[in-house]
Chains A and B, each alone.
Chain A
């Protein structure tokens, strides 16, 4: 026979090393989680409140390096702006 019997397949759970588990996908849970996340996004989108970026996030987003910061600090020092 081209297909194997149940005996040949063996019990997959018992063959696995102790402590490991098979991750199963529960369709109902996936749908529920998606709905929860969607609602959160929608609520946030309507209010349109975006938390402000931190200084490091702004620098990272524009690709500013540490050497650039040193240049700016030197300029401020030269023109007498206290930072």
Chain B
């Protein structure tokens, strides 16, 4: 059995918009990360125990060696959460050399206008598509070689997406952004990735 420290090295913090339109991409991210043997983490998984959301976010960003920030939500209402958490990750990276941070955007060159402070960092452009977000994840977080092919990950995503309505129904939720559904999604992605032969038991 590998040590807990070794297991923590595979964590990826997800800083993404929690809205209905992003659900499909969120499921795609989970599919891609689990398929390459990484462990997705997000603020949903830690229950509120009076410490506040910011404290939970800070702890998760600090504990994960990689954080993934999707800055594609620039419309109305304006969302400052993602840039703020990116700022936390950048500060931690400068002070403690971790986490490594990866920026995602849906449109090319838009980040140069919306957040010019990060000029010089190339964001992954996913064009708000499932295939795009999977290829970005594989390219930025995957190994230098030996990654699963996009088709296999797409198959995992397709099957996982079919189970989403049932997960919502079981938990009585209208969206997928809750702690039990997040756990169910990771568990289901793990089962599917194992079935596809992408990870071992």
Contact = CB atoms under 8 A, between A and B. Distances in A.
Task: Tell me if chain B binds chain A.
Answer: yes
Interface of A: 47, 49-64, 68-69, 71-73, 75-76, 78-79, 81, 83
A75 B170 contact: yes
A78 B166 contact: yes
B199 to A, nearest CB: 6
A60 B88 CA distance: 27
Contacts of A55: 190-191, 193-194, 199-201
A15 to B, nearest CB: 38
Chain A residues touching B, majority SS: helix
**SS class of chain B's interface: helix, strand, loop or mixed?**
helix
B81 interface: no
Contact of A63 (B34, B183, B192): B183
Interface of B: 2, 7-11, 34, 36-41, 45, 143-144, 159, 162-163, 166-167, 170, 183-184, 186-188, 190-195, 199-201
A69 B170 contact: no
Contact of B39 (A49, A53, A68, A72): A53
B7 A53 contact: yes
Contact of A83 (B2, B183, B195): B195
A61 B11 CA distance: 9
A50 B147 CA distance: 12
Contact of B199 (A54, A62, A72): A54
A54 B201 contact: yes
B10 A59 contact: no
Given A55-B201, A61-B7, A73 B191 contact: yes
